[in-house]
Structure 1
Amino acid sequence: MNGQTPARHYYKKLVPSLILILNCIQFLSHPTKADPILLAFVFAVYLAFIWIIPNVASTAVSLSIFIGLWLLTDFFWAVSGQEQGAAYFLIVFLMIYAAFRLPSRLSLIFTACLIGGNILLLSSQGGSLNTIISNISIMIGLYVFFSSMRFRREARKEAERNHAELAKMHVQLEHAHKELQKAHAELQEASVLSLRYAVLEERTRIARDIHDSIGHELTSVIVQLQSLPYILKSSKEDSEKVIQNVLSVARESLQEVRSVVHQMGRSESMVGLTALRGLIHQVEERSGLHVSLDTAGLSEESWPPNVSETIYRILQEALTNIIRHADASHAAAVISNDKSHLYVTITDDGLFTGILTYGFGLTGMKERAEKAGGSLTFSAVQPSGLKIELSLPLMTTNKEQKDEQR
């Protein structure tokens, strides 16, 4: 029923059926030249047509039924010999129904044939010119009126259908936008958590080393110092041995402390690279974007905290922009350094071809790089894609290394 309610579907059948029945009763109640039985039969065929034609899907079959009814009506008209009456009413009724049921071009051709057939019948029955012109004018006027009604109805339905589709698309876009916002928030949260987990893991390792090595040696020192007063009373030689042993253990503990602190410094500097790997892993798992990290040109991995944070945030925002806007399948990050600078290059195979709009994300990346004393540039990749080049100074790192050596 093409989405129509059952009540509306039957309404479209009942109204024309009632019109046929009322006119059939009217024509039967007045004396005519037509046989009442033949007249009732023709009207009964039209009633059956009203209830059958909506269920016919094929246009060719529908047109064949319309032509059959037309021939039956012309036969009835020829037999009854009426210029005006039931036959003419049925012809007009058939024309109006064709204007609603048949495709517009077919309905126009069918109406032209009906008008031509009426002219021939009226001429053969000796109809006057005024009668012929009147009948043609009435049929043309009715066809134009009901065809315009049909066109307005179809235009209204098309507008309603387009409005419904637009509303559905709007809802889908809003849903997709919310999903993207949710995914972006989850990605940022996961990135922060990965950095925290890396730091916590390193701190746990350092705490375990302190407990297992330095704690054991300090316990030995405490035990020997507690026994020293008794040894001093009994033997001077033994007491000297204890003192030397305590000093040796204390020196070993001091050396162990220095070793752990040195490892802690190295671990804190390595947190930056570990966090970058964790960020890339999270992005690949959550978005499907393949991201490669190349550190072959990295000869020095000791970064100051501000450099580590700057690289992390810029890579995070770059990957976020690639996921949201680039429609890329692959991204690559290359990290290298020389004696004075650290270099990061981020590329993708997205849709960018040279027209760049500086939004909040790109502007924030550039400001973050400049705040750290570096620079950030954007350029196109052939045949398509975006290249981000970051340069950061490492003077802070070199100074920290000299302080550590001292």
Structure 2
Amino acid sequence: MASTLKEEKLYINLIRILGTLLLALSYFYEYTNQAAISLIGGFLVLLLYMVLIWAETTWWNEVKYYVVSMMIISIILVLHYVFDSPHTTLLWPLYFIILLMNRVYPRVSLIMGLITLSCIAWVNALSLSTILGLLGVMLVARSIKIRRDAHLLTTLHLKELDRAHQELEVAHKELQEATVHSIRYAALEERTRLSREIHDGLGHQLTSLIVQLQALQIMHVTEPEKASDSINQLLGIARQAMAEVRVAVKEWTNDEMGLGIVALKGLVSQTQGRSSVQFKFNQNSELSEWPIETSIVLYRVLQESLTNILRHSDADQAWIDIDEAGDRIQLTVTDNGRTEKGGAGHLGYGLNGIIKRCEEWGGSVSISSVEPHGFRVKVMLPVERIAIVEEKE
């Protein structure tokens, strides 16, 4: 953009220099052998032309354009009709300067162009065809100027749009990174909660197992039949402890592909900790390992759904159900609160955001009321993103 403006400024300065030289030569050729009054009048016209050509754009306004242009026309007409000066060719530069250089005030350009053309036709007794030809030149010049201005404006808009697009891309990237960090934090918090539960639950079970095994050593000698019954009880405790260990090992994987379900549970735990609503998370099937992008979509959808429950539903209970069948994940969020006026058809910014996010991923969203009261958001999402074009086909 800077190079374009620099080239345009250079082009205008070259036109100014060339115009100044041509005006000076025209003045020298026409007025040096004239009477003193014609010489002085022509010099005044030349000075006014210099003002018209070289004055900065910020100095001008419509009144100044009218005054300078009318002074040039008036002096030339007075010299011609009052002092019998035979030369009026200095009217012609005004006609072209107004057409080509006045880009800020198009109304001045049109009015003064017509006035100057009328004076030229009057003084030189031009034929109708010549007048029409000059009028055509004026219209063509204005058309070129308008197109050039429109092109420059379009170029500026395109550059602004490109800059805004780049800023949006950076913001989107930062948002994605922030979401990944949120998922990792939620997963870490959920793992911490699991560690605490395992410490309390598994530790208690193992302590009980050790105590009963010690008792079994004594009982095996004194009461063999009772010892046999205790073995079955100890096996039950051991199997329960092993089940908890397996759950922990499965959810503690360091692979980012496994962050999804852990992060969702962590988000529910975080929300539970800062509200009075009772949330229940149900995993209804075995889940595969999701790509981090899919986890981001599900995390954002659940986050917005929980936020809506806290802000608008007045619910005291909510259920989050997730299951996976084939290559599709279904996430359902249900509450027992009140339904907003307008029912499920009245969607706010957050719910519309959920719909848009899921559709961009190739999924679908179902929003409905729950009888006798409550609200349900059901999301169906592919494990891997499906292009919208492919889905339509």
Q: TM-score if structure 1 supplies the norm length? A: 0.55
Letter in 1 for 2:267: L
Give the length in aligned residue pairs.
322
Look up the match of 2:264: 276
Establish whether residue 388 from structure 1 lines up as the match of residue 377 from structure 2.
yes
Q: 1:157 to 1:266 in 2, by over 3 A?
A: same
Q: 1:362 to 1:307 in 2, by over 3 A?
A: same
Establish whether residue 50 from structure 1 lines up as the match of residue 53 from structure 2.
yes
Once residues 292 and 262 of structure 1 are traced to their aligned partners in structure 2, the CA distance between those partners, rounded to angstroms, is 32
Q: Contact 1:53–1:62 (CA<8 Å) still a contact in 2?
A: no
Structure ID, larger Rg: 1
State the 1:275 CA deviation: 4.5
Look up the match of 1:400: none
Q: 1:163 to 1:32 in 2, by over 3 A?
A: same
Match of 1:191 among 171, 183, 189: 183
Task: Select between 162-171 and 271-280 the one with higher mean Cα deviation.
Answer: 271-280
Letter in 2 for 1:112: L
Q: 1:113 to 1:4 in 2, by over 3 A?
A: same
Match of 1:345 among 313, 334, 340: 334
State the 1:344 CA deviation: 3.3
State the 1:62 CA deviation: 1.6
Q: 1:320 to 1:174 in 2, by over 3 A?
A: farther
State the 1:81 CA deviation: 1.4
Look up the match of 1:20: 23
Once residues 295 and 314 of structure 1 are traced to their aligned partners in structure 2, the CA distance between those partners, rounded to angstroms, is 27
Q: TM-score if structure 2 supplies the norm length? A: 0.57
Look up the match of 2:125: 132
Look up the match of 2:74: 71
Q: Contact 1:292–1:331 (CA<8 Å) still a contact in 2?
A: no
Once residues 194 and 302 of structure 1 are traced to their aligned partners in structure 2, the CA distance between those partners, rounded to angstroms, is 17
Once residues 29 and 190 of structure 1 are traced to their aligned partners in structure 2, the CA distance between those partners, rounded to angstroms, is 85
Q: Contact 1:279–1:316 (CA<8 Å) still a contact in 2?
A: no
1:344 is paired with a residue of what secondary structure?
strand
Task: State how 1:250-329 maps to structure 2 within 5 Å.
Answer: 258=237, 261=240, 265=244, 275-276=263-264, 278-279=266-267, 295=278, 303=283, 306=286, 317=297, 320=300
Task: Select between 259-268 and 104-113 the one with higher mean Cα deviation.
Answer: 259-268
Look up the match of 2:111: 109
Once residues 217 and 330 of structure 1 are traced to their aligned partners in structure 2, the CA distance between those partners, rounded to angstroms, is 44
Look up the match of 1:153: 145
1:16 is paired with a residue of what secondary structure?
helix
State the 1:21 CA deviation: 0.5
Q: Contact 1:70–1:91 (CA<8 Å) still a contact in 2?
A: yes
Q: 1:35 to 1:304 in 2, by over 3 A?
A: closer
Letter in 2 for 1:13: R
Letter in 2 for 1:258: I
State the 1:158 CA deviation: 1.9
**Residues 233-284 of structure 1, C-alpha deviation per residue, up to 9 Å, x if partnerless?**
xxxxxxx89x88xx99xx89x8799399469749959x899853533689x9
2:125 is paired with a residue of what secondary structure?
helix
1:89 is paired with a residue of what secondary structure?
coil
**Residues 65-111 of structure 1, C-alpha deviation per residue, up to 9 Å, x if partnerless?**
2122222222222233145x2xx212222222222344444333323
Letter in 1 for 2:175: A
The runs of 5 or more residues in structure 1 that have no matched partner are: 123-130, 226-239, 285-290, 366-376, 392-406
Letter in 2 for 1:141: G
Q: Contact 2:186–2:264 (CA<8 Å) still a contact in 1?
A: no
State the 1:292 CA deviation: 8.7
Q: Contact 1:92–1:139 (CA<8 Å) still a contact in 2?
A: no
Look up the match of 2:161: 169
State the 1:390 CA deviation: 7.0
Look up the match of 1:331: 308
Once residues 278 and 289 of structure 2 are traced to their aligned partners in structure 1, the CA distance between those partners, rounded to angstroms, is 17
Once residues 186 and 104 of structure 1 are traced to their aligned partners in structure 2, the CA distance between those partners, rounded to angstroms, is 51
1:199 is paired with a residue of what secondary structure?
helix
State the 1:360 CA deviation: 6.7
Once residues 295 and 10 of structure 1 are traced to their aligned partners in structure 2, the CA distance between those partners, rounded to angstroms, is 76
Q: 1:180 to 1:332 in 2, by over 3 A?
A: farther
Once residues 362 and 42 of structure 2 are traced to their aligned partners in structure 1, the CA distance between those partners, rounded to angstroms, is 83
**Residues 133-170 of structure 1, C-alpha deviation per residue, up to 9 Å, x if partnerless?**
34x76565345325423431331342243134224414
Q: 1:195 to 1:264 in 2, by over 3 A?
A: farther
Q: Contact 1:379–1:387 (CA<8 Å) still a contact in 2?
A: yes
Letter in 1 for 2:190: A
Q: Contact 1:329–1:349 (CA<8 Å) still a contact in 2?
A: no
Q: Contact 1:206–1:264 (CA<8 Å) still a contact in 2?
A: no
Task: State how 1:186-265 maps to structure 2 within 5 Å.
Answer: 187-188=179-180, 190-191=182-183, 194-195=186-187, 197-199=189-191, 201-203=193-195, 206-207=198-199, 214=206, 258=237, 261=240, 265=244
**Residues 330-359 of structure 1, C-alpha deviation per residue, up to 9 Å, x if partnerless?**
53494179xxxx963388623759x99984
State the 1:219 CA deviation: 10
Once residues 75 and 309 of structure 2 are traced to their aligned partners in structure 1, the CA distance between those partners, rounded to angstroms, is 79
